[in-house]
Amino acid sequence: MAQTAVVNVPKLNKTINVPTGLFINNEFVPSVDSQERIDAVNPATEEVICSIIAGSEKDIDVAVAAARHAFKTTWGKNITGWERSRLLNKLADLIERDAQELAELEALNNGKPIKIARDFDIGDSIQCLRYYAGWADKIAGQTLECDNTKKLAFTRHDPIGVCGQIIPWNYPINMWSWKVAPALAVGCTIVMKPSELTPLTALKLSELVVEAGFPPGVVNTVPSLGSVGGAALAAHPDVDKVAFTGSTVTGRKIMEAAAKSNLKKVSLELGGKSPHLVFESADLEQAASWAALGICYNTGQDCTAGSRVYVQDTVYDKFLAVLVDKVKALNVGDGLDDATGAGPVVSKGQYDRVWGYIESGKAEGARVLVGGEKRNSKGYYVDPTIFTNISADMKIVKEEASIFGPVLSVGKFKTEEEAVILANDTSYGLGAGLHSNDANQCMRVSSALEAGTVWVNQYNLLCNNVPFGGKKQSGIGRELGSYALEEYTSVKAIHWNFGEKLEWPL
Amino acid sequence: MPSTFSYEWDTPAYKGKTSFNTGLFINGQFVDGSNKTTIDVVNPTTGKVVGQIAEAVEKDVDIAVDAAQKAFDSAWGLNASGAKRSELLWKLAQLMEANLDELAAIESLDNGKTFGWAKGTDVSFAIQTIKYFAGWADKIQGQTIETDERKLTYTRHEPIGVVGQIIPWNFPLLMLSWKIGPALATGNTIVLKPSEFTPLTAIRLCDLINQAGFPPGVVNIITGYGHTVGAAISGHSRIDKVAFTGSTLVGRKIMEAAAKTNLKNVTLELGGKSPNIIFNDADMEKAVSWTTHGIFWNHGQACCAGSRIYVQSGIYDEFLKKFTEKAKAIKVGDPFGTGIDQGPQVSQIQYDRIMGYIESGKADGATRVGTDGYFIEPTIFTDVKPDMKIVREEIFGPVGVVIKFEDEEDVIRQANDTTYGLAAAVFSQDINRALRTAHRLQAGTAWVNCANQLHANVPFGGFKQSGIGRELGEYALHNYTNVKAVHVNLGHEL
């Protein structure tokens, strides 16, 4: 039988029990054919928290079979919307009950402050589950008028089936809820592959799935390496849909694998290189606050991180001065410390990557206004860094991979047209922010920005009922809101003849 | 001084007691009526008074409206997010669930329906309805509409404000849930008048409303008579919407009062004389069972009762025999007894009214059961003519009329030959014929091979004089929202 790790939470003098097996059919089990394990690391101390079982391709097969069986027997069309609603609400209640402990585990494995994990990540996740619980009994198709004397035409909004869901490490619990909630609400079953960097809270949440009363096989959790479990799900002939949040590079592989196997439905939520535009009429103090949020929140590890700020030349110096103060005010430290505003980046791999960009920025002649220096202590810390005097051919500006750390490039523009061109000059299109007190300008620019989410005089704040997703190479499909339901729904049209006799030959 | 209502049960169906605050529930508190008068609460099983409740008069409606308006302007309306409204509605449903048996017992005592029906249908469905609308509260969506690029054009689905709601005595708590669910989900505040015949579960709910955390004044429940409180609500200048379920007669008065005063928005859910059509090829056993349920459910006190039963000539004799047997097998007695299917009618007034119809139909076999309470045995009339009172008018009791018919065209014509249009049922194993017929019946609900089936997410309401507007489902939200179109010019020069 698979085991439980007793995880020590430093500084809080407590332990948390974490199941370490693969969660399939409501049980934690060992791998069928592999001895591989994954070490979960605390990025503040660089120490191993515990090790969990790494799922193999065969384990994915087992999980998919369990999900398929549940879909055919206890879930899918075999359960009413009422019951799905009740179970999702129960799950939300349980997460609320255990919010503190889940927050501590999240902080330990991901690095973010406990308070933020509890009040924002987990708070939003609970709301997300409740929001979709409310949709579960409201799935409605249409009846359509063709010929009233002969035909009853209508649509059914059926669940797609077995869904593979692959989530990232930046908001482990929150991303879990964004995926799980709409899929379950419409009646799909799930094989979830959490990130190999942050698998622990997904396993802990799986315990709550059992406690809430979901039938076995409805939700399955298989932590594994992306190249193993993720690839297996994307290519699996019995998975009907794959939903992925992560890098654009991996997103391409997933779409390719889906195309090559069974043309499964694909939704992708990928990277971004989201711009802020600060116009001269903007409230500069507010714009600087939102820009600071945009790059510092979650230590810049956000797909919509506002990593490029373009400021109108007439207010450039003034804005920059305020921005620097705002960014410097952030307290980066251990997530288990109360005073911490943002934690370390999640892993050694990310640490090396982000510092690689910072070094290249310095090397290519960008000016460092804030940060840019490594710490001498343990922990994968990257202090917020601001570059100015950037040019379009610099790696930090040009390269199509997002830095995914608290590294901001600040540039200048003269006219609105120029600003829009600069903002849109990217193959990404996830988020964008504009700051202006000229309403007509807000309308023009928000319409012109090629992004799935545009914030006007704000940044980064989302609502569970407002859709979110990318244009261009930032993604396919939308999460949140009623739109997410479409990603997990398969429309069937039924033409029911009750009055037409066919004369054959015609 | 506001008082309490106490009762204790020691019956086969239920053992327990209750004691709860009574009074007019205004601004989160229980108060006396302005006239300090009371209304008797009668147990229809015994015909005896079991307690008193406060009586509201016109002045109390004003006080309640004040409270509701204040709450709308401060703690409710759009000042409370959809997520918050959702959370409170959900909590209320959970509290109702925790008190399920007690609520069912109170309902049974007050209305006369059996404890089993009160628990399994009334209270359970009420809980489900509140849960359903809790889920809509954070999903009230307008549209952005493409006009041109220099304009931002969108709709807001705003709450109306203070809404008046008047509910009947046949499914007291259930009707209350159908009303408050969508009204609260969309952000309105409420002044609700329960029926003076069945006020108890509404009053019991008030403590739960407080416990759930609704701000004071959001829900106000005032008990009083139709001709005083109901009239005051329909004619009130500061109530912008009235929703009524009850008789067509009273529905007219309400709409008239609304028209004469401030043209408030009116939705009505009125009576019916719903046809139930059984073709030769119907599954006989099932048709008999559903037909029995269709007319005798809730002692015939259902607006959608299938009270005109049309049976095709080919199966008429056999159907009538089986239907009569099934009707005779219904056990009428104490709602808290064992093995009882049907309790008393709700009140003396209803009893007299139904017996009046029975007399007018010149039937035999409708004898009063026992000497206390308002019991009426299930009654079937045959050999009727289309212009008889019992065929045209809504009886609202366990009285069905059975009519023979020959062909499809004729029965559809007869079925539609009524000023009502609430529901209809069709029994046939030929799906083509069943769908054709269902589509041609002028009714807000058409049942095919079933009857009296309702779901919180499926709309319900009347054609013709059976009503205006729809309850349940997403459709109910429209009754409680004011659509505002906003045109923001962001570039047009005049």
What DSSP element (H or E) covers A101? helix A99-110
Q: Which domain holds residue B358?
A: 275-456
Pair B34, B170 in one domain:
yes
Pair A145, A159 in one domain:
yes
Pair A223, A252 in one domain:
yes
Reduced to 3 states (helix: H, G, I; strand: E, B; else coil), residue A38 is: strand
Catalytic residues of A: 269
Range 377-436 of A in CB contact (< 8 A) with B: none
CATH of the domain at B97: 3.40.605.10
How many angstroms separate the CA of residue A494 from the nearest CA in chain B? 15
Pair B313, B239 in one domain:
no
Task: Give residue A177's Cα distance to chain centre.
Answer: 9
Residue B366 lies in a domain: yes
> Would you state the pLDDT for residue B206?
98
Q: Do B488 and A499 touch (CB under 8 A)?
A: no
| Closest C-alpha among B20, B368, B426, B19 to residue B221 | B20
Pair B279, B235 in one domain:
no
The answer to whether residues A130 and A184 touch, using CB atoms and an 8 Å cutoff, is no
The answer to whether residues B107 and B205 touch, using CB atoms and an 8 Å cutoff, is no
Of B139, B152, B435, the CB nearest to A134: B139
Best probe of the A interface among B85, B139, B153, by most A CBs < 10 A, is B139
The answer to whether residues A237 and A405 touch, using CB atoms and an 8 Å cutoff, is no
Q: Which residues of A touch B128 (CB under 8 A)?
A: 82
Q: Which residues of B touch A152 (CB under 8 A)?
A: 435
**First vs last C-alpha separation in chain A:** 67
> Would you state the pLDDT for residue A10?
81
Residue A35 lies in a domain: no
Ordered DSSP codes for A204-232: HHHHHHHHHTPPTTSEEE----IIIIIHH
Task: Give residue B101's Cα distance to chain centre.
Answer: 21
Q: Is the pLDDT of residue A306 over 70?
A: yes
pLDDT tens digit string along A44-68? 999 999 999 999 999 999 999 999 9
Pair B69, B203 in one domain:
yes
> Would you state the pLDDT for residue B159?
97
Number of domains, chain B: 2
Pair A217, A352 in one domain:
no
> Would you state the pLDDT for residue A148?
84
| Closest C-alpha among A123, A21, A135 to residue A487 | A135
pLDDT tens digit string along A338-394? 889 999 999 999 999 999 999 999 999 999 999 999 999 999 999 999 999 988 788
Residue A125 lies in a domain: yes
pLDDT tens digit string along A393-425? 888 877 767 789 999 999 999 999 999 999 999
Q: Which residues of A touch B86 (CB under 8 A)?
A: 130, 134
> What is the spatial distance between Cα B306 and Cα B238, in angstroms, rounded to a whole number?
39
CA distances from B95 to B92, B116, B137, B209, B379 (A): 5, 20, 18, 9, 39
Mean pLDDT of chain A: 95
Of B136, B435, B491, the CB nearest to A134: B136
Q: Which residues of A touch B488 (CB under 8 A)?
A: 439, 443
Q: Which residues of A touch B157 (CB under 8 A)?
A: none
Instruction: Tell how strand A489-497 and strand A151-159 pair up.
Output: antiparallel
The reply to whether A85 touches chain B by the CB within 8 Å rule is yes
- A499, burial (CB in 10 Å: exposed 0-12, middle 13-18, buried 19+): middle
Q: Which domain holds residue A262?
A: 58-270+474-491
Q: Which amino acid is at B380?
A: I
Q: Do A135 and B488 touch (CB under 8 A)?
A: no
Q: Do A140 and B139 touch (CB under 8 A)?
A: no
Reduced to 3 states (helix: H, G, I; strand: E, B; else coil), residue A145 is: coil
The reply to whether A308 touches chain B by the CB within 8 Å rule is no
Of A134, A149, A442, the CB nearest to B135: A134
Q: Is the pLDDT of residue A204 over 70?
A: yes
How many angstroms separate the CA of residue B261 from the nearest CA in chain A? 37
> What is the spatial distance between Cα A402 and Cα A404, in angstroms, rounded to a whole number?
5
The reply to whether A4 touches chain B by the CB within 8 Å rule is no
How many angstroms separate the CA of residue A85 from the nearest CA in chain B? 9
Q: Do B135 and A440 touch (CB under 8 A)?
A: no
Which residue has 């043209």 as its token pair? B263
Residue A174 lies in a domain: yes
Pair A245, A280 in one domain:
no
> Would you state the pLDDT for residue A2?
62
Of B128, B436, B490, the CB nearest to A443: B490
| Closest C-alpha among A280, A288, A286 to residue A321 | A288
| Closest C-alpha among B327, B176, B324, B322 to residue B243 | B176
Pair B197, B307 in one domain:
no
Pair A381, A395 in one domain:
yes
> What is the spatial distance between Cα B342 and Cα B373, in angstroms, rounded to a whole number?
13
> What is the spatial distance between Cα B132 and Cα A135, in angstroms, rounded to a whole number?
9
CATH of the domain at A452: 3.40.309.10
Q: Which amino acid is at B17?
A: K
Of B134, B152, B490, the CB nearest to A134: B134
How many angstroms separate the CA of residue A106 from the nearest CA in chain B? 25
The answer to whether residues A345 and A380 touch, using CB atoms and an 8 Å cutoff, is yes
Pair B42, B83 in one domain:
yes
Q: Which residues of A touch B142 (CB under 8 A)?
A: none
> What is the spatial distance between Cα B73 and Cα B82, in angstroms, rounded to a whole number?
16
> Would you state the pLDDT for residue B301?
95
Q: Which residues of B touch A134 (CB under 8 A)?
A: 86, 134-139
Ordered DSSP codes for B115-131: HHHIIIIIIHHHHHHHH
Residue A416 lies in a domain: yes
Q: Which residues of B touch A498 (CB under 8 A)?
A: 431-432, 435-436
Pair A449, A483 in one domain:
no
Torsion sign, CA atoms A165, A171, A172, A173: negative
Q: What is the pTM of this model?
A: 0.91
| Residue in A with minimal Cα distance to B131 | A134
Q: Do B490 and A440 touch (CB under 8 A)?
A: yes
Pair B346, B452 in one domain:
yes
Pair B42, B172 in one domain:
yes
pLDDT tens digit string along B268-283? 999 999 999 999 999 9
What DSSP element (H or E) covers B152? strand B151-159
Residue B406 lies in a domain: yes
Q: Which residues of B touch A443 (CB under 8 A)?
A: 150, 152, 488, 490-491
For chain A, give the number of residues: 506
Pair A95, A190 in one domain:
yes
Catalytic residues of B: 269
Pair A294, A408 in one domain:
yes
Provide residues of B within 8 Å CB-CB of chain A: 82-83, 86-87, 90, 128, 131-132, 134-139, 141, 149-150, 152, 431-432, 435-436, 439, 456-457, 474, 488, 490-491
Residue A479 lies in a domain: yes
Of A136, A152, A440, the CB nearest to B491: A440
> Would you state the pLDDT for residue B372?
58
The reply to whether A138 touches chain B by the CB within 8 Å rule is yes
Q: Which residues of A touch B487 (CB under 8 A)?
A: none
pLDDT tens digit string along A272-287? 999 999 999 999 999 9
> Would you state the pLDDT for residue B299?
94
Q: Do A443 and B138 touch (CB under 8 A)?
A: no
Q: What is the mean pLDDT of residues A167-182?
A: 98
How many angstroms separate the CA of residue A7 from the nearest CA in chain B? 34
How many angstroms separate the CA of residue A135 from the nearest CA in chain B? 7
How many angstroms separate the CA of residue A16 from the nearest CA in chain B? 30
Q: Do B135 and A135 touch (CB under 8 A)?
A: yes
Residue B393 DSSP class: S
Q: Which backbone phi and psi does B400 adopt, to 5 degrees? A: -115, 150
> What is the spatial distance between Cα A239 and Cα A257, in angstroms, rounded to a whole number?
12
Instruction: Tell how strand A385-388 and strand A367-370 pair up.
Output: antiparallel
Q: Do A85 and B135 touch (CB under 8 A)?
A: yes
| Residue in A with minimal Cα distance to B134 | A134
Residue A234 lies in a domain: yes
Q: Which amino acid is at B123?
A: V
Q: What is the mean pLDDT of residues A155-161?
A: 96
CA distances from A282 to A285, A288, A318, A489, B313 (A): 9, 10, 12, 42, 81
Residues of chain B with pLDDT under 70: 1-2, 362-373
Q: Do B439 and A148 touch (CB under 8 A)?
A: yes
Torsion sign, CA atoms A437, A438, A439, A442: negative
Residue B288 lies in a domain: yes
Residue B489 lies in a domain: no
> What is the spatial distance between Cα A154 and Cα A143, in angstroms, rounded to a whole number?
4
Question: How many CB contacts within 8 angstroms connect chain A with chain B?
Answer: 69
CATH of the domain at B301: 3.40.309.10
B449 Cβ contact list (under 8 Å, min separation 6):
B282, B283, B286, B290, B426, B427, B428, B434
Pair B479, B449 in one domain:
no
| Integer-rounded Cα radius of gyration of chain B | 23
How many angstroms separate the CA of residue A138 from the nearest CA in chain B? 7
Q: Which residues of B touch A81 (CB under 8 A)?
A: 457
> Would you state the pLDDT for residue B333?
94
The reply to whether A81 touches chain B by the CB within 8 Å rule is yes
Pair A258, A281 in one domain:
no
Residue B401 lies in a domain: yes
Number of domains, chain A: 2
| Closest C-alpha among B422, B383, B417, B423 to residue B403 | B383
Best probe of the B interface among A82, A186, A466, by most B CBs < 10 A, is A82
Pair A189, A329 in one domain:
no
Q: Do B135 and A136 touch (CB under 8 A)?
A: yes
Task: Give residue A490's Cα distance to chain centre.
Answer: 23
Pair B156, B189 in one domain:
yes
> What is the spatial distance between Cα B105 and Cα B101, in angstroms, rounded to a whole number?
6
Q: Do B131 and A482 touch (CB under 8 A)?
A: no
> What is the spatial distance between Cα A168 and Cα A174, in angstroms, rounded to a whole number?
10
Pair A204, A228 in one domain:
yes
10 Å Cβ neighbour count for B15?
Answer: 12
Pair B253, B314 in one domain:
no
CA dihedral B145, B149, B152, B153 (to 10 degrees): -30
Residue B137 lies in a domain: yes
Pair B220, B340 in one domain:
no
Pair A177, A299 in one domain:
no
The answer to whether residues B187 and B160 touch, using CB atoms and an 8 Å cutoff, is no
The answer to whether residues A432 and A449 touch, using CB atoms and an 8 Å cutoff, is yes
pLDDT tens digit string along A454-476? 999 999 999 999 999 999 999 99
How many angstroms separate the CA of residue A47 from the nearest CA in chain B? 40
> What is the spatial distance between Cα A455 and Cα B354, in angstroms, rounded to a whole number?
65
CATH of the domain at A120: 3.40.605.10
